[in-house]
Amino acid sequence: MKLSKVKELLDAEILCCDGALDCEVMNACGSDMMSDVLAYVKDQSILLTGLMNPQVVRTAQMMDMKCIVFVRGKKPNEAVLSLAEENGIMVMTTEYRLYTACGLLFSNGLYCEGVDKV
Amino acid sequence: MEPIVLNYQVDGEDFSTAGEASSAVKKALKQLGFSPDVIRRVAIAMYEGEINMVIHADGGEATAEISQEEIRIILADRGPGIKDIDLAMQEGYSTAPEEVRNLGFGAGMGLPNIKKYSDELKIESTPGVGTTLRILIRT
């Protein structure tokens, strides 16, 4: 799925790195606990979260993720956005809650068969 | 390739800057042409260790020794030390305060995760003196 499709499905607003809209992504994860993202996530390109601090971007960077989606209409501050920009990670914000946002992406085909159990 | 040594001071005062050393090492490894798998393992293991230094020990010193065959990460702090290393290695065990959990960390996954992503992990810790983590990742 292209990030442009993710934006459309989530009715999201892009906050930085809109040049990556053509980028293909294969999977996503949703979590407010960065410890768990670092421990269990593998090859997921999108992080959906309601947590807003620079460590969200750092976590995404360490995991080679391409996009962060802030849920529940959250908009991070400039420090978070400039760190994302510096690392070429697209940032979006959606009004949907975490559960709904993940559900919309999953039900539209953004998942990999058989890789979801830890 | 001659071994390359990178050295960083990790600031324990500012949680928002935690991860800068790991980020710099990740970028260096990419420039040196290591495989994405190796780079990610090093990045995650070092980042978890760096976060621990900021959360528990007011920062410290981070060193990366990079050679063709292996990457060694040494994280040394002068924090309170780990009283029971076996307990600290258990998934889910954490002594992190509530405010750290609100920042998305402190789930008790840090040390187990470092072990998972590394080929060798040595922990030297003396209560009241400090902790040194030696992480080895073969390329």
Q: Does some domain include residue A114?
A: no
pLDDT at A116 over 80: no
Residue A63: list chain B partners with CB under 8 A.
Answer: 40, 44
3 state SS of A105? helix
Which amino acid is located at A4 in the chain? S
Total domain count, chain A: 1
A116 within domain boundaries = no
Under 8 Å between Cβ of B49 and B75: yes
Per the CB < 8 Å rule, is B104 touching A63?
no
- Taking CB atoms within 8 Å and a gap of at least 24, the contacts of B26-30 are B26/A61, B26/A62, B28/B4, B28/B64, B28/B66, B29/B66, B29/B71
Kindly state whether residue A70 falls inside one of the protein's structural domains. yes
Contacts of A79 in chain B (CB under 8 A): 16
* Cβ(A66)–Cβ(A44) below 8 Å: no
pLDDT at site A118: 66
Mutation to test the A interface, candidates B22, B102, B105, B117, most A Cβ within 10 Å: B105
Evaluate whether residue A117 is within a structural domain: no
CATH number, domain at A79?
3.40.1390.20
Question: Within a domain: residue A30?
Answer: yes
A47 Cβ contact partners less than 8 Å away, ≥ 6 residues apart: A28, A29, A30, A31, A37, A56, A59, A60, A63, A65, A67, A68, A69
Question: B58-92 pLDDT, tens per residue?
Answer: 999 999 999 999 999 999 999 999 999 999 999 99
Residues A34, B16: C-beta atoms closer than 8 Å: no
Q: For A74-106, how does the pLDDT look when each residue is reduced to its tens digit (9 = 90+)?
A: 999 999 999 999 999 999 999 999 999 999 999
Could you tell me the residue range of the domain that residue A38 belongs to?
A: 3-107
The angle formed by the CA atoms of residues B27, B29 and B35, to the nearest 5 degrees, is: 120
pLDDT band at residue A41, thresholds of 50, 70 and 90? confident
Q: Report if residue A28 sits inside a domain.
A: yes
**Looking at the domain assignment, is residue A80 inside a domain?**
yes
Q: Say if residue A115's pLDDT is above 90.
A: no
**Distance from the Cα of residue A92 to its chain's centroid:** 8
Tokens of A47: 């992080």
Torsion (CA) B5, B12, B107, B44 in degrees, nearest 10 = -20
Q: Least CA distance to A40: which residue of chain B? A: B113
Q: Tell me whether residues B105 and A39 touch, CB distance under 8 A.
A: no
Q: Is the pLDDT of residue A107 over 80?
A: yes
> Domains in chain B, ordered, with CATH?
4-138 (3.30.565.10)
Residue A17 C-alpha, separation from nearest chain B C-alpha, in angstroms: 19
Report the pLDDT value the prediction gives residue B1, as an integer from 0 to 100.
Answer: 74
**Across the interface, do A54 and B16 touch by the CB < 8 Å criterion?**
yes
Q: Would residue A115 count as lying in a domain?
A: no
- Tens of pLDDT, residue by residue over B86-112, are 999 999 999 998 888 888 998 898 999
